[in-house]
Structure 1
């Protein structure tokens, strides 16, 4: 894109993408608040509710590449608006749930399908197309940062409504917020008017792009490490409120922690978006996984206090969605823009397999053992391993970490 046209053309698209990303991520990240009260009210197990969230993550991951293909075929606007409708219907269904089946339909299937069309991969691909390559990493960081504000609003609002009126009214409040995704998706859909660079308009097919991605060693390592990222984050968003409740903490503390993660995520996303334009993105990505695992181990080794929980949330927030601009930037550098959403969707499928294990596996371990000890220890060990491997592979002097201009890639 011509930088002289940047404000007039790109800003409405970026604002719409940020609002869409913020609401879809913020509402979904706050569903952990309802695990205990909804399970008791519906007479279902904790693992039944967390299975729905696990299925949500799995469906999101499975459908993400197909959403990317549809965005190329039908346009981003059609995909994002359709996803916004599914997302809102999912929240409405959850608020009316009568048992495990309707929890699965609402929180699992419908929200998962909506996320595939409105959240990370699609939103970041939209932002990537709206700006020049020189601006891309910083702008992706800004969109990710603005998108982080959703949890800052959703978690405290959900907890407040639940304390005053019950969990069903709180989820219905989430449904009303989800309706706001519709106009945001429509505005972000203006990106369909922006023509790709001529080199991107070639005859490269989805099959050719897929074949190239699945043969790229650097991409495969990044996708495998992304599995652990999903496991850690969704374990926290699903089980942290329940863990704090078991430890006798104030129920509002869980909501405050999730909100604080969202607040500090703004600074983290901005920093890693800026840093990704200056240093190897893969090394930064591995550093996030390694540091995040150290912080997880520190927190769960000690008895939680309100102070330690809020410090933990702030530190995790700094390392939360900073992965977004790094992964999106790496995919754009490796393979170009035309099939970015689809290829990023393949990596994200790995992330969501980890998310499934983090949500459901954490619930199964808790139901079987009455504690989260084994779950967090596994998450820490896997995170340390993923971080070290990602850093070694992405190190500039390593053959798999060579600069993007020397990599075989699709046209930009």
Structure 2
């Protein structure tokens, strides 16, 4: 007796999870290249930090456009083109010899690639395909895959750098990123027409109407500005924490282990956030997550920095790291529906990336100016309270749209 064939949703979840594992796993290791590249090429830390900041900014600026393409034409072509750009960007990053070539490869090419291989596009497709009652959990599972990539690939990336040098390590990662292509080929996302069948029988607004609705929706802007804080914090920590710990006289392996712990515990954090989002208010959960971040960051910068405190910070931040992603995308889906989820999620993510740009660049700039990361840590702590205040009043209600008027 033959087994029943796997559903398209199974292949979408499998392919999307692996793509996120590879894409975000490689990306989260970029902070390990800051010290060796800056030392070998005679740069200050701001040069590398600026390239990463450009990457995050371009990623965010292009994300709504990439999301709109995925909503219109499906996820497969978007992810496959982005996977090729990712490999090319890593290859050229390994050959870089000037700040300009670093910005072109790390900043522009990889920034474009990430817009098609990360959360907004993948979770948009999953959000359309999943039943509404399981949507939050499905997004949490896929988000956890990105965290698994961080946990698995960070030690491997450090091993490549130590064994081969930073340039050859990037060549190896370029080859690894090509695995995105076969997994992209097995994914099939719902078309807009198919997605609308899973919603209530309300009119399907045009793209211009959707954008106008979002622009008029005050809670949409609160969500955007709250997500700005998430981007600031995770990119500052992801890029600068390994160097910060070296400055505190801890061995280089400590920073790698901390970021790996962030990835490991974020698997539980993102999955748990997705499950909790099915039962409780997502905006209030987001506010609570940012307040917990304040506790973890505050304890880390106030207590003496040791290996034990660094590992504790990695565990605590890991549980809160990307737990914001399934909740934020879930709110967008609940309020605006799933037809244009990749595009609207991309707009929210743009603000995340504006924060990422500022966090990545400001960390390097203030370090070069003051010789310390203390001021950026204090800004990160203050922003936790700002984000909690922004997310708390958001109302998670479907947007009321006027009924269809049939032509005479």
Same topology, TM > 0.5 = yes
Find the counterpart in structure 2 of residue 404 from structure 1.
397
Q: Report the equivalent of 1:150.
A: 149
What does residue 272 of structure 1 align with? Answer: 273
Match of 2:324 in 1: 323
Equivalent pairs counted in the alignment come to 398
Task: Tell me the TM-score normalized by structure 2.
Answer: 0.93
Q: C-alpha distance in 1, partners of 2:110/2:13? A: 23
- Mark the CA change 1:271 to 1:194 in structure 2 (over 3 Å): closer, same or farther: farther
Alpha-carbon distance, 1:15 to partner: 0.8
Spell out the pairing of 1:324-403 with structure 2 (5 A cutoff). Answer: 324-391=325-392, 393-394=393-394, 401=395, 403=396
* Residue of structure 2 equivalent to 1:398: none
Q: 1:27 to 1:268 in 2, by over 3 A?
A: same
CA gap of 1:149–1:409, structure 2 versus 1, over 3 A, is: farther
1:96 aligns with 2:95: yes
CA distance in 1, matches of 2:289, 2:165: 37
- 1:43 equivalent in alignment to 2:35: no
- What does 1:71-82 align with in structure 2 at a 5 Å threshold? 71-82=70-81
* CA–CA distance in structure 2, aligned partners of residues 107 and 301 of structure 1: 34
Q: Which residue of 2 aligns with 1:397?
A: none
Contact 1:76-1:192 at 8 Å conserved across structures = no
- Shift of residue 193 of structure 1? 10
- In structure 2, the CA distance between the partners of 1:335 and 1:37, relative to structure 1 (3 Å rule), is same
Q: Could you tell me which residue of structure 1 aligns to residue 406 of structure 2? A: none
Query: Is 1:331–1:344's contact at 8 Å kept on the other side of the alignment?
Result: yes
Structure 2 residue aligned with 1:163 = 162
Give the SS at the match of 2:186: helix
Q: Cα RMSD (Å) of the superposition?
A: 1.9
Question: Per-residue displacement from partner, 1:390-411 (whole Å, max 9, x unpaired)?
Answer: 22x13xxxxxx2x524x43699
8 Å CA contact 2:36–2:166 kept in 1: the answer is: yes
Asked if 1:25 is matched to 2:17, the reply is no
Hey, which of these two has a bigger chunk of helix by percent?
1
Pair 1:6–1:146, CA change in 2 (3 A): farther
Q: Aligned to 1:68, what secondary structure does the other structure show?
A: helix
The answer (yes or no) to whether the contact 2:29–2:154 under 8 Å persists in 1 is yes
Task: Give the C-alpha shift of residue 341 in structure 1.
Answer: 0.8
Off by >6 Å, runs of 4+ in structure 1: none
Alignment map for 1:74-223 (pairs within 5 Å): 74-191=73-190, 195-198=194-197, 203-223=204-224
Which ranges in structure 1 are unaligned for 5 or more consecutive residues? Answer: 395-400
**Where does structure 2 lack aligned partners over 5 or more consecutive residues?**
404-408
**Cα deviations by residue, 1:34-66 (Å, 9 ceiling, x for unpaired):** 101101111222101110000000001000000
Distance 2:269 2:402 in 1: 30
Distance, in Å, in 2 between the alignment partners of 1:324 and 1:310 is 23
Please tell me whether the aligned partners of residues 13 and 188 of structure 1 are also in contact (alpha carbons under 8 angstroms).
yes
Q: Determine the structure 2 residue equivalent to 1:314.
A: 315
The 5 A counterparts of 1:270-309 are 270-309=271-310
Matched, 1:251 2:252: yes
User: Retained in 2: the 8 A contact 1:53–1:356?
Assistant: yes
